[in-house]
């Protein structure tokens, strides 16, 4: 009994469809990744814009969605349409007439801003730097990938991980308070370095998948030719 007789046309077409989808994903993975990164990186910028123009429901939906990825503390987040782009705890306490400490994370997480102070983004200053730099680095990588080798993991730990860990943990345990500049620098180093470290390996894996699946698809086309 031939292989064609053993496999139904429906199964044969399903296998072809899956293989073609895998080939397309492997060939265009970086395009899909950049589209996803652009959308994910951009939406938190949209939340304060929506509030400024009165679209509270979609803005609140964005804050809720991105709350799963970020603490959204007002004193560590960029503001749009206000007196200044960022505020310390002391400044916010003075402007709002409250004495809630920085440790009152539920209060500062829930506060999205007002007409005087402006409205905060849907993720913090550090995450803004991380995700923006990931997108920019991925965009650059898409054009230079044939010439870029993976970042050495030791340099990644020293240059990209150590600064963000030191800044974040010393702040977390109350030894000091970081500022917007340090959060931006450390976040940018971590985001761009992560792309430089990971994407070349993903590209290699996707290239192997593309070649193997393409060969498999060609074998299927030869073996299971459809009778007209």
Average pLDDT, the chain: 90
Count of CB atoms situated within 10 Å of the CB of 168:
17
Q: Are 8 and 225 in contact (CB under 8 A)?
A: no
Q: What are phi and psi of 101, to 5 degrees?
A: -75, 170
Q: How many angstroms separate the Cα of 19 from the Cα of each of 14, 59, 147, 220?
A: 9, 40, 29, 10
> The whole model's pTM is what?
0.86
Task: Give the span between the Cα atoms of 94 and 110, in whole angstroms.
Answer: 18
Examine the pLDDT at 228 and tell me if it is beyond 70.
no
pLDDT of res. 224: 63
User: 227 exposed, middle or buried (CB, 10 Å; 0-12, 13-18, 19+)?
Assistant: exposed
pLDDT per residue as tens digits for the range 164-205? 999 988 987 778 888 999 999 999 999 999 999 999 999 999
Examine the pLDDT at 1 and tell me if it is beyond 60.
no
Task: Give the span between the Cα atoms of 129 and 136, in whole angstroms.
Answer: 10
Q: Are 177 and 171 in contact (CB under 8 A)?
A: yes
45 vs 174 pLDDT, higher one: 45
Q: Are 196 and 203 in contact (CB under 8 A)?
A: no
Residue 118 CA, chain-centre distance (Å), reads 25
Q: Which two tokens stand for residue 114?
A: 């007002």
Q: Are 48 and 79 in contact (CB under 8 A)?
A: yes
pLDDT of res. 6: 64
């Amino acid at each position: 009994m031939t292989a064609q007789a053993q496999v139904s046309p429906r199964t044969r077409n399903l296998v072809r469809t899956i293989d073609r989808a895998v080939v397309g994903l492997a060939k265009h993975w970086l395009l899909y990744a950049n589209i996803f990164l652009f959308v994910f990186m951009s939406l938190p910028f949209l939340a304060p814009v929506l509030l400024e123009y009165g679209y509270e429901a979609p803005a609140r939906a964005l804050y809720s969605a991105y709350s799963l990825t970020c603490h959204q503390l007002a004193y560590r987040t960029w503001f749009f349409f206000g007196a200044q782009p960022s505020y310390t705890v002391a400044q916010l306490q003075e402007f709002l007439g409250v004495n809630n400490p920085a440790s009152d994370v539920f209060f500062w997480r829930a506060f999205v801003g007002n007409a005087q102070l402006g409205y905060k983004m849907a993720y913090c200053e550090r995450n803004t730097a991380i995700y923006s730099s990931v997108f920019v680095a991925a965009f650059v990588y898409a054009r230079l990938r044939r010439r870029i080798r993976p970042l050495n993991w030791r340099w990644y730990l020293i240059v990209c991980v150590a600064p963000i860990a030191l800044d974040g943990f010393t702040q977390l345990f109350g030894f000091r308070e970081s500022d917007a500049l340090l959060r931006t620098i450390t976040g940018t180093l971590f985001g761009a370095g992560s792309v430089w470290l990971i994407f070349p390996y993903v590209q290699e894996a996707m290239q192997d998948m593309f070649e193997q699946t393409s060969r498999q698809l060609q074998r299927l086309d030869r073996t299971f030719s459809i009778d007209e």
